[in-house]
Structure 1
Amino acid sequence: MNGTSSRLLTLLSLLQARRDWPGGLLAERLDVTPRTVRRDVDRLRELGYPVRAFKGPDGGYRLDAGAELPPLLFDDDQAVALAIALQLAVTSGAGVGEAATRALITVRQVMPARLRRRLDAVQVVPVADRTGHEAEPAVLVALTTAVRAREVLRFDYATEHRPDGAPGELVPPRRVEPHHTVVRSGRWYLVAWDLDRDDWRTFRVDRITPRTPTGPRFTPREVPGGDVATFVSARFKGSSGADAWPCTGVVELDLPAADVAPYAADGTVEALGPDRCRLSRGAWSWVGLAATVAGFDAEIRVVGPPELKEAFATLADRLSRAAGGRR
């Protein structure tokens, strides 16, 4: 931040701290001349902050903000970004939706009228995960504090939630070296080195109950591959190495490529004609891949590998038994 911007923020903070500020005292606190103070006040007015001058022996300034927080200095793009971020907080899985709504109201009150209009123009309808498995803010704070302090963490870890949404059965306490907290598809995870299993693990934060105190400090390790996002993505694909599906295959479908592409996820679609395409896709298992491809309502021809063709045969037998043996 350059000197002028930093000084403007300091000036805003001072004007909020007390009702009236003599010009000479402001100049002294900012270590500038009274002329520079007048210029800075003019800059704040240009940004829309209602700074009034009052008469007196030395003259002075007053900020008509009516807020408890120091006035905030945002440009238009920052105001829009803030509005979007706070409105989408309900989908973050962090259990802070209500707090984010109150924060947006508070921030709006301390912004100039011009930025308030920009803020009000951004109306987002967030669609939150209604599974009830949100991470508690206090737990997130405890985990991120341990990550930053590089301290061994002990916690109770519940198994799968019961159908009524209550936590599952607790297993013996875990001891880990916490390295990262990540969010994926609206759910929070802790990436840590499990001291008892001597391996990397990902833990769902909504199942964690931290124990106190934390343990000794540890030396950070490098996650496999060196990138936590790639590591987590690979784990969710069932891969312990590269960020790739363990099972990948190629099929041809009697459907237009435009009809298949929206549902191909991270697969690739190649048009072979107006009503035929080739789909390359991966999954965690061969039968899982076959079931995914079978979801397309069309004739299927397996290009390869042989494991995928065998998986379709296995799936066909299962579906036949499910249908009472009818072919």
Structure 2
Amino acid sequence: MSSEATVERVLRLLSLLQRRPAWTAAELGEELGITDRSVRRDIERLRALGYPVQAAPGVGGGYRLGAGRDLPPLLLDDEEATATAVSLRLAAGGTVSGIGDAALRALAKIDQVMPPRLRGSVRALHDATETLAGTGEVDVDTLTTLAHACRDQVQVRFTYTSHRGVELQRRVEPVRMVAAGPRWYLMAYDLGREDWRTFRLDRMQGVEATTFRFRAREHPDPGEYVQSSVTASPYEYLARVRLHIPAQEARRRVPPQVARIEEDAAEGWCMLIAGADDLEWLALFLAPLRVEMEILEPAELREAAASLAGRLSAMASR
């Protein structure tokens, strides 16, 4: 095997070790298509490069990537590693549009191998920095804790404040976090309700990963489930409105946390589905889209739109 192929395989091995907390030699060999002996050689290559790969003997043993005294040789010195981690924390918190999810994944990886002395520097710098952002800001430690829990498949407990202001203790099996506009959501199996639930991260307090592992359940698509949850429930009304605009253009104009956009049978049209407690607010949101639309349900939305139009007309006539 050429040296280039060996390097590529070792990098794939490193990626696997970062994906979950422990692997057996047989599992790694199956993923990489190599023998157990080759796995052991590649593990030694990673150790020679400075990666703290730990091995546990016995039937339940395996390999794991631990935190070491020094950073692996990623061409980053202490100052560069600290600056990278601080930047990722800020980006994961939503200060850099469009890269929050990728920043969170990178932060989870670098946090896993960063020495404790550098973690302290990162926290000090982050605590001394304040950013101005939109609503729904989330503590980055909550993001990191949940990211590790999703990856390691361990249960999480926390205090959750409902939309009615009621605080309840929850224990869940986390699956995936989804960023929708300025907010982050967690899709998880709620052990108390025995069903899938969506949780806003800015309403979670005291998030703690437990030592209880779980086997992954069959679950809905996280992105679709979260969007359906945040745009339809637990609101009093569920609105369905046809828009004379292609679905792709509607998704560009309508934030995903406000409404779900679906294809319509008629060409050039799409369906907007949104939940609301205040139908007049929804009518006020729809009006600036400036497209032909048809309110299918509820009838109260048509009444709210007519009432709003009447008051605006009276305002203009005065």
TM-score by length of 2: 0.46
Structure number, greater radius of gyration: 1
The structure where helix makes up a greater share of residues is: 2
